[in-house]
Amino acid sequence: MTTEELLARSSQYIMNTYRRIPIVLVKGEGARVWDSNGREYLDFVAGIAVCSLGHSHPAIAEAIRNQAETLSHVSNLYHIEPQIHVAERLVTLSFADKAFFCNSGAEANEAAIKLARKYGHEIMGGKRFEIITMENSFHGRTLTTVTATGQRKFQLGFDPLPEGFRYVPFNDVSAVEKAITENTCAVMVEPIQAEGGIVIPDDDYLRRLRRLCDDKGILLILDEVQVGMGRTGTLFAYEQSGINPDIMTLAKALGNGFPVGAMLATDAAAAAFVPGNHASTFGGNPLGMAACLITIDTILNEGVLDNCKAVGSYFLDRLKHLKEDHDIIVDVRGRGLIVGIELSIAGDTIVERAMEKGVLINCTNGNILRFVPPLIITRDDVDMVVEVLDEVMGNA
């Protein structure tokens, strides 16, 4: 079937919820993908921060294949051995005492919101149900998580929205303090606003939030769906702040492409949940857990974090030099291998022209070029991307 035929059938049969780029990707290996015409691309999108170990990683493929030949799915009515192993790994490596598994970032955040509300009702006493989130944030597409998201554009047309959320400016602890009421049970925040434009807060922001939450007796929830699992150069982004949250959510890179989400919590927070409070049919299934386990071990044991920090630093340096040559670049920012270029123009044209040159990048928030490549990329890969950007921006 030709690319044109595939695109026509996609338009005919698939609901119109994505503004898709008109190529069909059919194969991936490492940091590269190929389309249905056989054209090769250097992929600096990685499924939007998902394939951190690259496409078709042989160890992950083997783990999923072996698990599929053994046991693909059983209900959470029973204990699942791979799920136990992944939970132990995540708890051992983090602040947490308990883990809950689901299938996506939105589901993980939904679970965190439910846990915080249950904690507010059962542990705090009274009816404490409000959660403070940040303007320009992004927490998911379900009705509750899109309400938690502090961007009205994602909420339009879905009213009435669930109650119980207050929005304050990001990187402003005093605004959070003013928003806390007798009904507040938690503050929910991304360590770096990713979908919001790679917005990095002050170094002491999370520390001050932690102190405030402790003073007020409320929970701190960190959404690490996009920045967790090594993206910033440490396994979890919060490690760089010197604090621990009460609840944290993960997804995206957790299974390196296999749909997996997780909510981690301290014993104190997790105690609010009892059997029947929350569940997931597919959450923690053997296939997903097999992918998770090998993903975690590979990130930790094969120099992935060191590569992320070193190549990420090199990438930022190259982009800052690029900024000197192009007036359309307003700012360059990032940490590890989550990097953004803020433009003075819309970014769609740059994305399209880069694709024509064999490089896949992404635009978020209208004018922010977002780079979330596999964490295994090399300096040569960075050089190729910067050369392409230099060329296409010169013609912008």
Confidence class for position 156, pLDDT limits 50, 70, 90: very high
Confidence class for position 215, pLDDT limits 50, 70, 90: very high
Q: Please give the radius of gyration of the chain, using alpha carbons only, rounded to the nearest integer.
A: 21
In this predicted structure, what is the pLDDT of residue 352? 97
Helix, coil or strand: residue 394:
helix
Inform me whether the pLDDT recorded for 125 exceeds 90.
Answer: no
Average pLDDT, the chain: 98
Q: What is the residue extent of each domain of the chain?
A: 83-301
Helix, coil or strand: residue 24:
coil
Place of tokens 């925040």: 189
Question: Which among 244, 273, 292, 299 is positioned nearest to 102, based on CA atoms?
Answer: 292
| Mean pLDDT across 19-33 | 97
Confidence class for position 127, pLDDT limits 50, 70, 90: confident
| Mean pLDDT across 225-234 | 99
- What would the pLDDT profile of 67-116 be if each residue is shown by its tens digit? 999 999 999 999 999 999 999 999 999 999 999 999 999 999 999 999 99
CATH number for the domain whose boundaries are 83-301: 3.40.640.10
Helix, coil or strand: residue 126:
coil
Instruction: Judge contact between 143 and 162, C-beta under 8 A.
Output: yes
b/e code 106-142 from CB counts within 10 Å (16+ = b):
bbbbbbbbbbbbbbbeeebeeebbbbbbbbbbbbbeb
| Mean pLDDT across 360-387 | 98
Instruction: Judge contact between 132 and 176, C-beta under 8 A.
Output: yes
Inform me whether the pLDDT recorded for 167 exceeds 90.
Answer: yes
- Strand duo 184-189 + 40-43: pairing: unpaired
In this predicted structure, what is the pLDDT of residue 92? 99
b/e code 24-52 from CB counts within 10 Å (16+ = b):
bbeebebbbbbbbeeeebbbbbbbebbbb
Instruction: Judge contact between 58 and 387, C-beta under 8 A.
Output: no
- What would the pLDDT profile of 326-337 be if each residue is shown by its tens digit? 999 999 999 999
Q: In this structure, what DSSP letter does residue 199 have?
A: B
Instruction: Judge contact between 198 and 192, C-beta under 8 A.
Output: yes
In this predicted structure, what is the pLDDT of residue 126? 78
Inform me whether the pLDDT recorded for 396 exceeds 80.
Answer: no
Report the range of poorest mean pLDDT among 74-88, 121-135, 146-160, 218-232: 121-135
In this predicted structure, what is the pLDDT of residue 296? 99
Inform me whether the pLDDT recorded for 276 exceeds 80.
Answer: yes
- pTM for the full model? 0.97
Pairwise CA distance, residues 269 & 264, whole Å: 10
Instruction: Judge contact between 222 and 161, C-beta under 8 A.
Output: no
Inform me whether the pLDDT recorded for 395 exceeds 90.
Answer: no
In this predicted structure, what is the pLDDT of residue 358? 98
386-390, long-range: CB < 8 A, 24+ apart: 386/315, 386/318, 386/319, 386/322, 388/354, 388/357, 388/358, 388/359, 389/319, 389/322, 389/341, 389/350, 389/354, 390/322, 390/325, 390/326
Ramachandran angles phi, psi of 318, nearest 5°: -65, -40
- Strand duo 130-134 + 165-168: pairing: parallel
